[in-house]
Amino acid sequence: MGLQAYLTLAAIVFCIGFFGVITRRNTIGILLGIELMLNSVNINLVAFSRFSGDITGMVFTVFTICITVTEAALGLAIVILLFRVRRTVTADQLDLLKG
Amino acid sequence: MTGEALGFYCLSAVLVGSALAVVLTKNLFHAVLWLALALTGTAGIFLLLDAEFLAAVQLLLYAGGIVTIVVFAIVVTERLVGERISQTSRRIAGGAAVSLVLAALIVSAVMQGPLTSVRSPMALDLTREIGDTVLTRFVLPFELLALLMLAGLMGAIYFARPED
């Protein structure tokens, strides 16, 4: 399988995650979509690294995985805090900053 | 068909199918379980790309860690385990159109580029190579990453502290 096959797969998964982010109404559902998008970027990094023979991409993937885990922990903590304050996790009702 | 191609197509089917299930299923619990399957499929893709270490990290941190955290968050926010937790989507047609256009753009760009299909030779033991590189060339980003994770986790604890 060539590099293009891996990049195409990553693009498809990215767009599925993007679809989830813009259509989900539950904030946890939005976070799941973001996880999918970040995940597909990791596929891109590893594929480029493997086909170009440069280890840097894989090292970057280690970094992005760590950052993603931190982001998920923080995001979910914010969701729990929002639920505690507003008693809802639906994104439509979280319009505090709406002008 | 070679073994690698067969594995790639099987893993792609699993990955795309479970990703679609993540964004389309009504039950949030099921969505998280589908996400676990998608992340495991990604670990399989990493194995196909000779990155065994990354596949292990992916399984431990993503499929093990994130899925557990998300399940915790769902339990805390919905309070009712076992009951049907429905989550609705909106503007599905518009979202699908935008996503399809974006996918078409990216795929057409990928198809046009002069991309290789030959793998360059790499060291046999990529795990050792990754470890060496992280602790020599990328040691400063590595330490900054430790700081970032510490700050992030402290922030998460601060946000989720018990009410006083």
**What is the arithmetic mean of pLDDT over B58-76?**
83
Residue A79 CB burial class (10 angstroms; 0-12, 13-18, ≥19)? buried
Please check the confidence at residue A90 and state whether its pLDDT lies above 80.
no
The confidence band for A29, taking pLDDT boundaries of 50, 70 and 90, is confident
Task: Judge residue B124's burial from the number of C-beta atoms within 10 Å of its C-beta, 0-12 exposed, 13-18 middle, 19 or more buried.
Answer: exposed
Whether residues A62 and B54 touch (CB distance < 8 A) is answered with: yes
A2 closest CA partner among B42, B46, B115, B110: B115
Helix (H) or strand (E) run with residue A64 in it: helix A56-86
Supply the CATH number for residue A22's domain.
1.10.287.3510
Cα three-residue angle B130-B19-A45, rounded to 5 degrees: 25
CA distance B127 to chain A (A): 10
Residues of the domain holding A11: 3-89
| Per-residue pLDDT at B2 exceeds 60 | yes
Which phi and psi (to 5°) does residue A26 adopt? -80, 135
- pLDDT tens column, B80-121: 444 445 566 677 888 889 999 999 999 898 888 777 777 777
Alpha helices in B49-137 (DSSP H): 52-57, 67-78, 92-112, 126-136
Mutate to test the interface with B, among A27, A38, A58 (most CBs of B within 10 A): A58
Question: What is the structure's pLDDT at A83?
Answer: 79
Q: What is the structure's pLDDT at B1?
A: 65
Using the structure block, give the residue that is written with the tokens 């009504």. Answer: B26
Which chain A residue has the Cα nearest residue B72?
A76
- Which A residues 70-99 touch B at CB under 8 Å? 70-74, 76-81, 83-84, 89, 92
Q: Are B132 and A19 in contact (CB under 8 A)?
A: no
Residues of B in contact with A50 (CB under 8 A): 49-51, 119-120, 122
Question: Of B16, B87, B133, which has the smallest distance from its Cβ to A55's Cβ?
Answer: B133
Does A95 reside within a domain?
Answer: no
- Of B5, B118, B95, B108, nearest in space to A16 by CA: B95
Tell me the pLDDT tens digit for each residue of B146-156.
Answer: 999 999 988 88
**DSSP code for B104:** H
Match domain B1-99 to its CATH number in 1.10.1370.30, 3.40.1190.20, 3.50.50.60, 1.20.120.1200: 1.20.120.1200
Residue B35: which residues within 8 A CB-CB, separation 6 or more?
A32, A35, A36, B18, B22, B66, B67, B70
pLDDT: is B114 or A72 the higher one?
A: A72
Q: How many residues does chain B have?
A: 164
Q: Where are the domains of chain B?
A: 1-99, 124-164
- Is the CB of residue B12 less than 8 Å from the CB of residue B42? no
Interchain proximity A78–B98, CB inside 8 Å? no
Residue A94 domain-assigned (yes or no) = no
**Is the pLDDT confidence value at A14 over 80?**
yes
| Structure tokens given for B134 | 């992280």
| Complex ipTM more than 0.85, yes or no | yes
More confident residue, A78 or B15: B15
CB B147 within 8 A of CB A80: no
Residue A96 lies in a domain: no
Q: Is 80 exceeded by the pLDDT of residue A88?
A: no
Please choose, from the candidates A92, A99, A91, the residue with its C-alpha nearest in 3D space to the C-alpha of residue A34: A91
CB contact under 8 A, B35 and A3: no
Average pLDDT on A15-44 reads: 90
| Per-residue pLDDT reduced to its tens digit, B9-45 | 999 999 999 999 998 888 888 888 999 999 999 999 9
Q: For all residues of chain A together, what is the average pLDDT?
A: 87
A44: contact with B, CB 8 A cutoff: no
Is the Cβ of A19 closer than 8 Å to some Cβ of chain B? yes
On the question of pLDDT at A20 being above 50, the answer is: yes
Residue A70 placed within a domain: yes
At B119-142, the pLDDT tens digits run: 777 777 888 888 888 899 999 999
A45 located within any domain: yes
Q: Which residues neighbour A6 within 8 Å (Cβ) at sequence distance 6 or greater?
A: A43, A44, A47, B8, B45, B49
User: Count of domains in chain A?
Assistant: 1
